[in-house]
A and B are shown apart, each in its own frame.
Chain A
Amino acid sequence: MQTLREFTRKTKRGNILKIVREHYLRDDIGCGSELCRNCFQNEVYQLTSQHEIQCSLFKFPHYIVVDTNVVLDQIDVLEEDVLRNVIVLTTVLNEVKHKSSSIYKRFNELVHDRTRHFYVFVNEHHKDTYADREPDETANDRNDRAIRIATKWYDDHIRASQSSKDLERTGKTATRVILLTDDAGNRAKAEADGILVASAAEYVKSLEDFPLLMDKLSHKSFDSEKQALPQYPPHLSMKELLEGLRQKKLLQGAFQASRENYLEGSVNVESFEKGILIQGREALNRAVDGDLVAVELLPESEWSAPSEIVLEENNVYADDVPSEERAEQEKDMLQQVQAASAASAEERSPTGRIVGIVRRKWRQYCGILQPSLIEDTSRHIFVPADRKIPRIRIETRQAAKLQNQRIIVTIDTWPRNSRYPHGHFVRSLGPLGDMATENEVILLEHDVPHCKFSEEVLSFLPKMPWTIKAEDYAKRVDLRDLYICSVDPPGCTDIDDALHCRQLPNGNLEVGVHIADVSHFIRPGNALDKEAAARGTTVYLVGKRIDMVPELLSSNLCSLVGGVERFAFSCVWEVDHDANVISKRFHKSVIKSKRAMTYEEAQVLIDDPADQGEIAKSLRNLNKLAKILKKRRMDNGALVLASPEIRFQVDSETHEPLEVEAKQMRETNSMVEEFMLLANITVAEHIAAEFTECAVLRRHPRPPPTNFDPLVKAARYQGYQVDIESGLELAHSLDKCVKEDNPYFNTMIRILTTRCMMQAVYFISGSLQKEEYFHYGLAAPIYTHFTSPIRRYSDIMVHRLLAASIGADSTYAQLLERKSNEELCHNLNYRHKMAQYAGRASVALNTHLFFRGKEEDEEGYVLFVRKNALQVLIPKYGLEGTLYLKSDKDGKDGLERTKAQIIFTFNEEDHTQRCGNFVFHSFDPVTVRLSLDSSNVQHEKLVFRLVKPYIKGFSVEPKAGADDKESQAPPPTKKSKKDKKKK
Chain B
Amino acid sequence: MASNFELLSEQGLRLDGRRPHELRHIQCKLGVFEQPDGSAYMEQGNTKVLAAVYGPHQAKGKKTESNDVIINCQYSQATFSTAERKNRPRGDRKSQEFKMYLQQALSAAIKSELYPRSQIDVYVEVLQADGANYAVALNAATLALIDAGICLNELIVACTASLSKNNIPLTDISHIEEVSGGPKLTVAALPTAQKIAFLEMSERFHIDHLETVIETAMAGCREIRDILEAVVKEHLLHMGSAADWGRVC
Contacts and interface: CB of A to CB of B under 8 A. Distances in A.
A125 B46 contact: no
A920 to B, nearest CB: 55
B208 interface: yes
A22 B24 contact: yes
A22 B45 CA distance: 7
Interface in A810-826: 811-814, 816-817, 819
B25 A4 contact: yes
A23 interface: yes
A4 B45 CA distance: 8
Given A2-B18, A22-B24, A817-B206, A17 B13 contact: no
Interface string B10-33: 110101111000101100000000
A122 B174 contact: no
B208 A23 contact: no
Nearest to A819: B2
B195 interface: no
Contacts of B45: 22
A24 B17 contact: yes
- The majority secondary structure among interface residues of chain A is strand
A21 B206 CA distance: 30
A25 B84 CA distance: 27
Contacts of B46: 6, 20-22
Given A22-B130, A122-B11, A813 B25 contact: no
A863 B130 CA distance: 66
Contacts of A816: 206
B18 A24 contact: yes
B133 to A, nearest CB: 15
Contact of B17 (A18, A23, A814): A23
B11 A21 contact: no
B167 A813 contact: yes
A379 interface: no
A19 interface: yes
Nearest to B174: A22
A90 interface: yes
Nearest to A125: B17
A24 B208 CA distance: 31
Interface string B25-47: 10000000000000000000110
Interface string A5-18: 01000000001011
Given A22-B16, A24-B17, A120-B10, A2 B22 contact: yes
A124 interface: yes
Given A813-B205, A816-B206, A819-B2, A19 B10 contact: no
B17 A26 contact: yes
A16 to B, nearest CB: 10
B83 interface: yes
Given A17-B84, A19-B83, A813-B167, A125 B13 contact: yes
B169 to A, nearest CB: 13
Nearest to A120: B11
Residue among A22, A90, A124 with max Cβ neighbours from chain B (10 Å):
A22
B176 interface: yes
A24 B209 contact: no
Contacts of B83: 17-20
Residue among A4, A19, A812 with max Cβ neighbours from chain B (10 Å):
A4
Nearest to A6: B46
A813 B17 contact: no
Contacts, number: 59
A767 to B, nearest CB: 14
A463 to B, nearest CB: 27
Interface size range of chain B in the complex: 20 to 34
Contacts of A811: 206
Interface residues of A, number: 26
A369 to B, nearest CB: 39
A124 B206 contact: no
Contact of B13 (A18, A21, A122): A122
A643 to B, nearest CB: 39
A353 to B, nearest CB: 34
Contacts of B2: 819
B231 to A, nearest CB: 18
Interface string A117-142: 00010101100000000000000000
Interface in B73-118: 83-84
B135 to A, nearest CB: 16
Contacts of B25: 2, 4, 22, 24
Nearest to B181: A819
A297 B74 CA distance: 59
A2 B22 CA distance: 10
Contacts of B16: 21-24
Given A6-B46, A22-B130, A816-B206, A90 B84 contact: no
A19 B18 CA distance: 19
B176 A813 contact: no
A31 to B, nearest CB: 13
B44 to A, nearest CB: 10
A17 B9 CA distance: 26
A35 to B, nearest CB: 20
A125 B9 CA distance: 12
Contacts of B174: 21-22
A978 to B, nearest CB: 34
A18 B167 CA distance: 32
A25 B10 contact: no
A25 B13 CA distance: 11
Interface string B187-225: 000000000000000000110110000000000000000
A778 B2 CA distance: 36
Contacts of A120: 10-11
Residue among A18, A21, A814 with max Cβ neighbours from chain B (10 Å):
A21
A125 B13 CA distance: 9
Contacts of B84: 15, 17
Interface string A736-748: 0000000000000
Interface in B163-181: 167, 174, 176
Nearest to A121: B11
B209 A813 contact: yes
A21 B176 contact: yes
Contacts of A24: 16-18, 25
Contacts of B22: 2
Interface string A58-93: 000000000000000000000000000000001000
Nearest to A94: B9
Interface of B: 2, 9-11, 13, 15-18, 22, 24-25, 45-46, 83-84, 130, 167, 174, 176, 205-206, 208-209
9 contacts: A2-B22, A21-B15, A21-B46, A22-B174, A24-B16, A24-B17, A813-B167, A813-B206, A813-B208
Given A23-B16, A120-B10, A819-B2, 19 more contacts: A2-B18, A2-B22, A4-B25, A15-B84, A22-B16, A22-B25, A22-B46, A24-B17, A26-B13, A90-B9, A90-B11, A122-B13, A122-B17, A811-B206, A812-B206, A812-B208, A813-B205, A813-B208, A814-B206
Interface of A: 2, 4, 6, 15, 17-26, 90, 120, 122, 124-125, 811-814, 816-817, 819
9 nearest CB pairs, A to B:
A813-B206, A24-B17, A125-B17, A17-B83, A22-B16, A4-B25, A22-B45, A122-B11, A24-B18
